[in-house]
Structure 1
Amino acid sequence: MDGASHSTPTRAFTVLVTAPALAPSGAALLADAGCHVLYLSADGEAGDADLTRLLATVAVDAIISRTAMLTAAQLGSCPTLRVVCKHGVGVSNIDVAAASALGIPVCVTPGANAQSVAELTWGLIFAAARRIAWMDGELRAGRWSRAQDGLQLQGRTLGLVGLGDVGQRVARVALALGMPVVAFDPARRTLPAGLEGVHLLAAIDDVVRAADVLSLHVPLNAATRGLMHAERIGRMPRGAVLINTARGEVVDEPALIAALQSGHLFAAGLDTMATEPLPAHSPLLSLPQVVLSPHVGGSTPAALDAMASGAARTVLAALTQGRIDPACCVNPQVLSLSSCRAMP
């Protein structure tokens, strides 16, 4: 699905981006195809109202979805809508069931941000294990606080919940560091090439009990919401580290806070939280053993460019050729229906 394969449409397709901007590579592909591109100008309630209005009043052909919620009512209000593509891989903000009922394929851009998320995962692991953020704060406050209780990672077991594009990259670094790696992924029966040193376990709790560092790499859905509940967090070894670059709702946040306050867990590194932006009163902010980042794992310029171009190619292939790659579609059953809107 390269850019050269897209001819200029006979009419200007309208593509709605649910954000104020799209990275240059994606915007250029849409412009070259003669598309009329609309952007949301605001976030929060104002952005939601703008999105609702546009879908109800403008003949939108495709949506490139960022973080704004796409509800059943919004999707149903736009009879011209033929395809939705997530700028990333998490579709918890899209009512996929409603889209399926309407015959609208929902696609993702797998792997586009995986390297950036994996690198931030390791940034959080190192920072949490060695208390880097706390020591930086101490020095800036004029205190020479030489923490000497950090964790050396070599020889400690890394547990991965989810062994997709991100998890595989995280695993390769761990193996290079001399960390044993165990993983659980219900969708995977065999190990990918190059990961023969990883032990694929049959149950999530086997990984949880073994992991000195536990890193989460799963989508948010009915099966994973609250996956790391209080009882499961309690099964982690005393002094373990929990890392979450997936979705905040995967972790029972009060249970995590309690485990950190009691000393059961040594530290946590979180790029995602149950409520975003993180409320000013969140106990996470007062815990020195927690390292936080504002959901930016996949937000480097390189990742944003890759997601934007991937999403643009996907919607252009659908609009100009009626072509959807089933491997990138989260509701592929729609593609075989006569009511599928992506078909020309």
Structure 2
Amino acid sequence: MPFTILVTATSLAPAGLRILEHAGCRVLFLRDGNSAAEVEGILAREPVDAVISRTVELSGAAIRSCPTLKVISKHGVGVPNIDVAAATAAGIPVYVTPGANAQSVAELTLGLMLAAARKLAWMDGELRAGRWTRAQDGLQLSGRRLGLVGFGQIGQRVASVARALGMQVHAFDPALRGPCPVEGVVLHASLEALLPQSDVLSLHIPLNAHTRGLLDAQRLALLPRGAIVVNTARGEVIDEPALIDALRSGALFAAGLDTMAVEPLPAGSALAALPNVVLTPHVGGSTPAALEGMATGAAHNVLGFLAGRHPDPLSCVNPQVLSQNERSIA
């Protein structure tokens, strides 16, 4: 029996789409790529077996409206747009695609770090405005200390390159088990121990109840004066008004941000007005290579589950449902 798959976007990378079509799936897309109401409408009227979720909200009402829905896979790793509690209550596993975009996000992290340290965006703007303004206070990263909050695949890749640049690398990750996976990295037992050792701080953590507002004014004050903050995780993990205050006062030298608390960035944003902030529009995982990796990973997740070949339980954010799910899916 062919399966019906809903992709909550207007498209999917060709490699992922080919996998679904080769399996004989009927693939549905959104007409409006940013409409939670359209997602709910499709699920309420179509016999959808699986959802590949992009950035559009997948609400509890949408999940409950579709009695045929059996599995959800995020096209990526962050699931704040998915009502995981509603999926769990319905016995529906929610998978992610860990590592698929790790290299692209790590590379953007390093790019933001270098751009913030050397004031690249500001100097580019000066030149385009006809001014030959040579900044004399850019920072050399070699010899400085990089602090990584979260030390999964992205953090580990950033650490390897940072060490090659001559940086001393420190990390904190309460989920890390066993020996340090990157030689020469100093692991810390708490965030409060890491922050004073971080001339550059880079965030690589999911957004959840424990991490929302994690980097608040009190913790920002623990960073060395003149530190740089880089965020390619989720904007909400930083207390944004506190970050802006620290950037304005000079407590922080600069910030490089791929994610903000409100996206798209609203008109008149205080962040956009600061000359010591480098901003990108949440594109860390948006290279063609990363999009193909996430699309193929999500396609394999849903097809594997629907065929009775359970994907890696470590990629399931609500694994408790796997032992409960006894429904026939063929």
Q: TM-score, normalised by structure 1?
A: 0.94
How many Å separate the matches in 2 of 1:323 and 1:113? 22
Q: How does 1:1-344 map to 2 (within 5 A)?
A: 11-44=1-34, 47-193=35-181, 195-337=182-324, 339=325, 344=330
Structure 1: state its 5+ residue gaps. 1-10
2:111 alignment partner AA: G
Residue 7 of structure 1 is matched in structure 2 by none
Which whole-Å CA distance do the structure 2 matches of 1:43 and 1:312 have between them?
19
Instruction: Tell me, in whole angstroms, the C-alpha distance in 1 between the residues paired with 2:241 and 2:88.
Output: 35
Shift of 1:322: 4.7
CA distance in 1, matches of 2:326, 2:289: 33
Give the C-alpha shift of residue 113 in structure 1. Answer: 0.1
Residue 207 (structure 1) shift: 1.0
State the 1:12 CA deviation: 1.9
Tell me, in whole angstroms, the C-alpha distance in 1 between the residues paired with 2:69 and 2:98.
22
Q: Report the alpha carbon displacement of residue 65 of structure 1 after superposing the two structures with TM.
A: 0.5
Q: Residue 149 of structure 2 contacts residue 205 of structure 2 at CA under 8 Å; is this kept in 1?
A: yes
Any conservation in 2 of the 1:104–1:340 contact (CA below 8 Å)?
no
Q: Give the whole-Å Cα distance in 2 for the aligned partners of 1:284 and 1:116.
A: 24
Q: Distance in 1 between matches of 2:230 and 2:127?
A: 25
| Superposed CA RMSD | 1.1
Deviations 1:117-166 (A, max 9, x none): 00000000000000000000100100000001001001100000000010
Number of residue pairs matched by the alignment? 330
Cα deviation for residue 340 of structure 1 reads 5.0
**TM-aligned CA deviation for residue 192 of structure 1:** 4.4
Alpha-carbon distance, 1:97 to partner = 1.2
Q: In the alignment, which residue of structure 2 is the partner of 1:5?
A: none
Distance 1:229 1:342 in 2: 47
State the alpha-carbon separation in 2 of the partners of residues 261 and 233 from structure 1. 13
Is the 2:52–2:74 contact (alpha carbons within 8 Å) kept by the matching residues of 1? yes
Residue by residue, what CA displacement relative to the aligned partner does 1:196-246 show, whole Å, maximum 9, x if unpaired?
Answer: 200110000111111000000000000000000111111111100000000
Structure 1 outlier segments of 4+, above 6 Å: none
User: Matches of 2:48 and 2:84 in 1, distance apart?
Assistant: 18
C-alpha displacement of 1:189: 3.3
Following TM superposition, by how much is the alpha carbon of 1:342 offset from its aligned partner in structure 2, in angstroms?
7.5
Q: Can you give the 5+ residue segments of structure 2 that lack an aligned partner in the other structure?
A: none
- 3-state DSSP class of the match of 1:159? strand
Partner Cα separation in structure 1 for residue 38 and residue 57 of structure 2: 12
Name which of structure 1's ranges 215-224 and 322-331 shifts more when overlaid on structure 2.
322-331
Q: Is the 8 A contact 2:307 2:329 kept in 1?
A: no
Q: Residues of 2 paired with 1:254 and 1:68: CA distance?
A: 26
For 2:30, the aligned partner's letter is: L
1:8 counterpart residue number: none
Residues 1:171 and 1:342: Cα distance change in structure 2 (over 3 Å): farther
1:190 Cα deviation (Å)?
A: 3.0
Q: Distance in 1 between matches of 2:62 and 2:309?
A: 23
The amino acid of 2:27's aligned partner reads V
User: Partners in 2 of 1:58 and 1:121 — Cα distance?
Assistant: 40
What SS class does the counterpart of residue 104 from structure 2 fall into? helix
> Contact 1:105–1:340 at 8 Å: present in 2 too?
no
Q: How far off is 1:296 after superposition? A: 0.3
Change (3 A) 1:152 1:342: farther
After TM superposition, give the deviation of residue 40 of structure 1 in Å. 1.0
> Counterparts of 2:71 and 2:177 in 1: how far apart (Å)?
31
**Deviation at residue 60 of structure 1 after TM alignment:** 0.4
Partner AA of 1:262 in structure 2: S
